[in-house]
Structure 1
């Protein structure tokens, strides 16, 4: 059973006072608890309820659920949102690097910004209380709960800094003297959080080491170490500061120091063996969609949504046009891979057809729908599928499927990247081979895995291969944008993506052997497609049993909507702080970057 934190009533949510929480309450919570802090934070069962309350903020309508997960991360060289070509559209502006502080979709006092800081305040109260009354130690229940609270606060800060850059640093509960504070340098926040996660790793257990860590909806040591590695890379990477795109000037956040932390953490996870790649790439995503939350596999931690909360499939699944045999919720498909991504993969890469899907589920007849081809400008993420669920979704706007926050494959790629930087290509090779081994059949291993990786003899070649492998592995997971930023490749790769899409539209250059007409028939089940023409060189009619489908619908306005014409994405790496929070900051908050 899923540990449905975000939908279930949390009895301790009322402990948090209204002055500490910004925005509407998700729960019908009672007034402030009459229980004393000394009782709450010395009783593990009660403390666990308070820790659950930290996560509850993620399920608020305009928090992770309906704003951050659906829209942070677009657009990149692999993914785009299908509102991007709507000129002046509030959602589109978020994705085309033209967001305004007054964006009507985001400029609300219960937005993700508010919910993240509300979650941080809950975490601060919890951390203070456990330290004061809980006697937390490595190996005891209160130590596990303290480690979880610290990690959850770190998650909120990781996402705040990722989306907004410099933000206020609050690591103690709010007092009358600290209600209004200015932004802090993200360097200060990175250092604090990296230190926090080092402590948290000493407190929480490995996956399946104790009952609490048998589910990926609870914090475990592998995740904490992986998050610390990821934040070390982000802290030392390129990013936009008010004075330009650069690495941090803080010597404590140097590449050598941060990459050493990241590599050490990744190797500890790998050597421990309590997390591992799922045996097949399809199996990984079936596990998510069937809501299997057992720890010890590839997923390290997931944002836990209950059945009536969360919009992961609602936003990103293969599109279902009507209620049908697989879902009572006709949604999915607000975003997808760029049309060229399918052709970036090796044709024998198993990940390609899982990640890039060229069809939707059409209008149901008597409750049954069929797959239908869509235009060459529209692809869907096949990692998210109502048809793989065990549960029939009936909610009008929530599906309840969790969001994978980090998985073991990312640990392997971070290990490859940091080993390459610090020790050379040969040290990175084993980690990259593990990723690629799952992506190819046994018949392809010698050439596509061993020969391919062994040929990467220089640091530069290995780095470029890792950048590409990140695309093959993570398209559709909204991990790409931050990676491109820290590699200083955001603007460059987005410009290249526009050029590639223009060549694809015109079937010139590397796309001259891609068909403009597809041919399809239905398989014996009567609902799934057999398509000819998607692979390079499939240019002829395969036979009378196939029907033709014109497939050349990508237009210049859509290509140009990857990012707004005249805007440099490197000058818009972050969202602005929304106006409602600027106005309510007593003059303490301001926007940078020309907003």
Structure 2
């Protein structure tokens, strides 16, 4: 956690020049800007004004995590029908929400951050001390901040207005949309040009709580993969830039960079994969890191405010202990009561995601919490459709927020980890050259942390050597990114750029249905159902001093307990050897009984029918309606902006 303190005189300057929406502005005097950027101390205060917008609700809960559903990994059940709230985003019916105030606030939050970043960029570049090393570092940070905000805009809204200058009186601030691929290209070029002047995290006092050189290189690779990949076009179909834009002739779609003294130009999709690979390798060559051997500790550190500068995390959003950040409130383990407050979890993980893990993968029980807390030391078993993210838990806090606290835990939010660099390298190399040694070695480094050393030969070496084709290796990367980053809310955008979002939705729904059928011993002649016959219809567990101990966690137990009691009676005298049970796979299918005929009719669970109801193509081929509309407030003030196309007017 970090405190972002912005002096009153600076707030007056920044608020005068940063519009409440991007169509209106008043300009500060040049004297104010000249003064602010004449020294490193005030320049830092200006830069912190950009960072501070991460602490506002549109980012801290909405864009960072709550709106990053529903995918095959993160998903939460919406209401029975569209209700004009965030739940319509979950169900992929966001096109209904042109009047939803949170969408307007998020749009403005991004453009306010971009305008503040633009002010810093212009102020630093024109400063009399522009060549100072600290000023160059802060210039790089401003470019990183701007690039990340455009990353959010293009992934939530698609093509958007693109401003590379600070708002000033007399400038045209109502402009048409720019295709997202031009925006990706421009942001990548900015970062390529500035990253070499930035400090590594261990060279700077604020470490991983400020955007550093590691993050800049990682962001180059991430943006390059998105530029190489798919996105929604105005026609409502998924395409790569190569398929509809003049990538060969338009320099605004090209990035020029130099690696090991060799000048390169990226224009095509393959060339952007090469750029991504080059910058992952550059980071590894300059500042290789060892992954923390404890996967749990990476996230526990964030809950206890430890910030190692050469560990997994490259950059994490710094939140205020007093009132900043919603990690542990809307994302994390469910806590309904206790000395450190309550959560209102709005990010869950799918049952199919839990089942997808190898039984020996240590990440599963760190990532997926099957329990929730009614008090500090009082665990209860979660419903299988309400699995929360175990990576963060407000009960681990080393501060005392109080029993009535909720939001504002102060827990930092990771935007990039070193394992992402390794997996991006692995993905890019596979796209270019198939599963070569570079791709395999990077994947192996991530998997080795997930398994015990005695299992390396089977779970790492044999597993990876069996990935002989480009297609098999790609599927392995898709899976590995799921297992590594569950709950960190990267999945939705990844599925979009891979153009497999629809396929994964249908796979998830079919698997949920098949597991549910197997639990009720239905259609066992179908091999797609029969493969799940040993999955547990129920979980059995005991409880000692408030702590749950499971008899089984995935499969039918070898022996069903002789004595079962209600959960609330588990710790009563005489029940020391008793078990309680809860429906597990049986919760993934439902039935109704016809009282007149006695016939029992089975069907998909509400969870399955509701979570992705905005996507209706059972083939999984057509584009998923993942984009959000621009709010009516913004559209009514613009000559150019509308919600025509992009799958929003279907």
TM-score, scaled relative to structure 2: 0.84
Q: CA deviation at 1:245?
A: 0.8
Deviations 1:479-513 (A, max 9, x none): 01111111110001101100111112222433211
- Work out whether residues 101 and 578 of structure 1, in 8 Å CA contact, stay in contact via their aligned partners in 2: no
Q: CA deviation at 1:89?
A: 4.9
Structure 2 partner of 1:353: 365
Structure 2 partner of 1:40: 36
- Work out whether residues 83 and 92 of structure 1, in 8 Å CA contact, stay in contact via their aligned partners in 2: yes
Structure 2 partner of 1:80: 75
Structure 1 partner of 2:62: 67
Q: CA deviation at 1:101?
A: 5.5
Q: Does 1:576 align with 2:629?
A: yes
SS at match of 1:49: helix
Q: Does 1:238 align with 2:230?
A: yes
Change (3 A) 1:528 1:589: same
Structure 2 partner of 1:27: none
Q: CA deviation at 1:542?
A: 4.5
Q: Does 1:534 align with 2:553?
A: yes
2-structure distance, mates of 1:356, 1:567: 28
Q: CA deviation at 1:541?
A: 2.2
Deviations 1:347-388 (A, max 9, x none): 0000011111111112x4xxx541101222221111111232
Structure 2 partner of 1:228: 220
Q: Does 1:380 align with 2:378?
A: no
Change (3 A) 1:84 1:259: farther
Rg bigger for which structure? 2
- 5 Å matches for 1:561-572? 561-564=610-613, 567=616, 570-572=623-625
2-structure distance, mates of 1:373, 1:108: 34
1-structure distance, mates of 2:68, 2:283: 26
- 5 Å matches for 1:14-53? 14-18=12-16, 20-22=18-20, 36-53=32-49
- Work out whether residues 242 and 592 of structure 1, in 8 Å CA contact, stay in contact via their aligned partners in 2: yes
2-structure distance, mates of 1:502, 1:561: 13
1-structure distance, mates of 2:498, 2:270: 15
Deviations 1:281-335 (A, max 9, x none): 111111122122232211111111102111121101211112x14x22x114222
Q: CA deviation at 1:549?
A: 1.4
2-structure distance, mates of 1:190, 1:34: 31
Q: Does 1:553 align with 2:553?
A: no
Structure 2 partner of 1:290: 304
The number of equivalent residue pairs is: 573
SS at match of 1:239: strand
SS at match of 1:520: strand
Change (3 A) 1:571 1:429: closer
- 5 Å matches for 1:252-291? 252=254, 253-273=267-287, 275-291=289-305
Deviations 1:378-430 (A, max 9, x none): 21111111232222333332212111011111100001011112233123110
TM-score, scaled relative to structure 1: 0.91
SS at match of 1:333: coil
2-structure distance, mates of 1:527, 1:103: 46
Deviations 1:141-166 (A, max 9, x none): 11111111111111111111111110
Q: CA deviation at 1:586?
A: 3.6
- 5 Å matches for 1:145-160? 145-160=138-153
Between 1:546-555 and 1:283-292, the stretch displaced more is 546-555
- Work out whether residues 426 and 457 of structure 1, in 8 Å CA contact, stay in contact via their aligned partners in 2: no
Q: CA deviation at 1:588?
A: 3.9
Structure 2 partner of 1:93: 88
Change (3 A) 1:10 1:315: farther
Structure 2 partner of 1:516: 537
1-structure distance, mates of 2:91, 2:623: 12
2-structure distance, mates of 1:273, 1:485: 30
Q: CA deviation at 1:9?
A: 5.7
Q: CA deviation at 1:35?
A: 5.8
- Work out whether residues 88 and 96 of structure 2, in 8 Å CA contact, stay in contact via their aligned partners in 1: no
Structure 2 unpaired stretches of 5+ = 248-253, 255-266, 519-528, 564-576, 591-604
- Work out whether residues 206 and 274 of structure 1, in 8 Å CA contact, stay in contact via their aligned partners in 2: no
Q: CA deviation at 1:528?
A: 1.7
- 5 Å matches for 1:300-311? 300-307=314-321, 308-311=323-326
SS at match of 2:626: coil
2-structure distance, mates of 1:59, 1:440: 36
1-structure distance, mates of 2:610, 2:558: 29
* Alignment partner of 1:313 out of 323, 328, 338: 328
Q: CA deviation at 1:589?
A: 4.2
* Alignment partner of 1:144 out of 133, 137, 156: 137
Structure 1 unpaired stretches of 5+ = 25-30
Change (3 A) 1:67 1:106: farther
Structure 1 partner of 2:261: none
2-structure distance, mates of 1:167, 1:103: 16
2-structure distance, mates of 1:163, 1:565: 16
SS at match of 2:232: strand
Change (3 A) 1:143 1:292: same
Change (3 A) 1:511 1:84: farther
Deviations 1:444-498 (A, max 9, x none): 1111011111221221221111111111111111101111111110001101100
2-structure distance, mates of 1:299, 1:343: 27
RMSD of aligned residue pairs (Cα, Å): 2.3
SS at match of 1:79: coil
SS at match of 1:522: strand
- Work out whether residues 100 and 631 of structure 2, in 8 Å CA contact, stay in contact via their aligned partners in 1: no
1-structure distance, mates of 2:173, 2:345: 41
